[in-house]
Amino acid sequence: MTHSESVRSELRLLAKLPATCQLSMLRYSADGGLLLAAGRDARLHRWKLPPEGLPLPAPDQKQPDMGSAESLTPLTGHNGWVSCLATSADGRWLISGDTWGRLICRAQAADQSEPVWQHAEAHAGWLRAMALSPDSQQLATCGADRMIRLWSTADGSLLQQFSGGGQDLYALAFHPDGNRLAVGDLQGVIGLWDHHTGQSLGQWEAREFYKLSYIQEVGGVRGLAWNGAGTVLAAAGCIPENGGFVQGIPALRLLNAADGSLLQQLKLGDNQEGFVHEVTWHPQDYWMGVCSGQPGRGRFFLHRSSADAPFCQNPAPLANCHSVALHTGGRQVAVLANEGTYGQQKSMAREGLYPGNTSPVHLFELPAD
């Protein structure tokens, strides 16, 4: 066994939480005792967990024990798919947005469900992304209406709004210093903004993340994340090859925060693997991300900037991964993947049944540093 194989084997499955529908995003509460998921059934799904994380399984245990994870009553109030989700680092706020443009802020505590504030039309149509400022006092949102809006987390008041340009906006990330906001769009442009004034601070490009194919625009910057020092910005997306079924190679671009120059571009599979949907930074100085593409394809990866390939990937197939959330303790991670019949199984259609996909949540113990 090589060193790389021994490291990879250290990613251990702790639990697989079943779901009743497709889910789109995962987040932990600030204390680590609550795992939340955005549902395509217009609800927020929740699991109560030990704040310190799930226990490691015994060496001879073949199946993970889900006894430490308690399913809680889902939260309602959204109109369409819940498309994005954020939890504040100060432990106060749970904020969610949907495909109808509704924005809801609740208390993060598990026993509270009534909104603290909400906006029925925070955006005209699909609310695609949100990000909380490092001090948790401001929320940035963007959507299909191509607008960027800044909200007070305390009372939901609108602090600032400005146009992000002529394309759909997919991703947001506050710089750790709180003075810059990065915004990713459909055509592979990353805009930098002074969110206090709405003034543009320039643009960086990831144009290979975009393609006009079969009169269809495909691709885009689907995720953004800064490292802890704010010296590197990671941009997630794919290099599209065909717009018919959006075939593309998942890619991660690491950019120098000083000038936007390319530090590294990582390709994570073939043209069936699709997008890197989400990327986040681990305090032990590596990136975590998830990919999904054609039905049944997907992966979860860990990558250090100093290497030319990920040092760890999921030990077993994970179909169509869409979200990754790091537990506050830093040693466990939740990964969202899909399973099912891809919507319409022909053998079942004769009976009038069209079972939908579901999105079980996989909880892993991360490799030791």
- Residues 9-45: tens digit of each pLDDT: 478 899 999 999 999 999 999 999 999 999 999 999 9
Eight-state DSSP code of residue 197? T
pLDDT at 214 over 90: no
Phi-psi category of residue 313: left, alpha or beta, with phi > 0 → left and psi -120 to 50 → alpha: beta
- Taking CA atoms, 90 is separated from 42, 101, 106, 135, in Å, by 26, 25, 14, 8
Q: Give the Cα separation of 1 and 5 in Å (integer).
A: 6
Residues 306-330 pLDDT 10s: 899 999 998 778 888 999 999 999 9
Residues 261-280 pLDDT 10s: 999 999 998 888 889 999 99
User: What value does the mean pLDDT take over residues 231-237?
Assistant: 97
**Residue 89 forms part of a structural domain:** no
Closest among 259, 285, 290 to 361, alpha carbons compared: 290
- Taking CA atoms, 211 is separated from 189, 254, 262, 290, 328, in Å, by 13, 20, 20, 21, 37
**Residue 161 forms part of a structural domain:** no
Q: How many CB atoms lie within 10 A of CB 79?
A: 12
Q: Are 118 and 103 in contact (CB under 8 A)?
A: yes
Q: Write the single-letter amino acid at 180.
A: R
Q: Give the Cα separation of 144 and 126 in Å (integer).
A: 5
Residues 50-59 pLDDT 10s: 999 998 877 6
Q: Give the Cα separation of 292 and 273 in Å (integer).
A: 6
Q: Give the Cα separation of 68 and 17 in Å (integer).
A: 11
**Residue 352 exposed, middle or buried by CB count within 10 Å (0-12, 13-18, 19+):** exposed
Q: Give pLDDT, residue 8.
A: 43
- Taking CA atoms, 131 is separated from 44, 70, 86, 201, in Å, by 18, 28, 7, 18
As a whole-number percent, the residues of the chain with pLDDT over 70 amount to: 90
How much is the pTM? 0.92
Give the residue numbers spanning the domain of 314. 1-22+208-369
Q: Give pLDDT, residue 110.
A: 67
**Residue 355 forms part of a structural domain:** yes
Q: Give pLDDT, residue 62.
A: 60
Task: State the virtual CA torsion across 76, 78, 80, 82 in degrees, nearest 10.
Answer: -80
Radius of gyration, alpha carbons of the chain: 20
Averaged confidence pLDDT in the chain: 89
**Residue 187 forms part of a structural domain:** no
Q: Give pLDDT, residue 217.
A: 87
Q: Give pLDDT, residue 352.
A: 60
Question: Which of these ranges, 36-45, 62-71, 201-210, has the smallest mean pLDDT?
Answer: 62-71
Q: pLDDT band at residue 114, thresholds of 50, 70 and 90? A: confident
**Residue 310 forms part of a structural domain:** yes
Which residue has better confidence, 179 or 242? 179
User: What value does the mean pLDDT take over residues 116-140?
Assistant: 96
Q: Tokens 């830093």 label which residue?
A: 330
pLDDT at 254 over 70: yes
Q: Give pLDDT, residue 247.
A: 85
**Residue 164 forms part of a structural domain:** no
Q: Give pLDDT, residue 344.
A: 46
Q: Give pLDDT, residue 90.
A: 94
**Residue 340 forms part of a structural domain:** yes
Q: pLDDT band at residue 6, thresholds of 50, 70 and 90? A: very low
**Residue 50 forms part of a structural domain:** no
pLDDT at 70 over 70: yes
Q: For the chain, what is the domain count?
A: 1
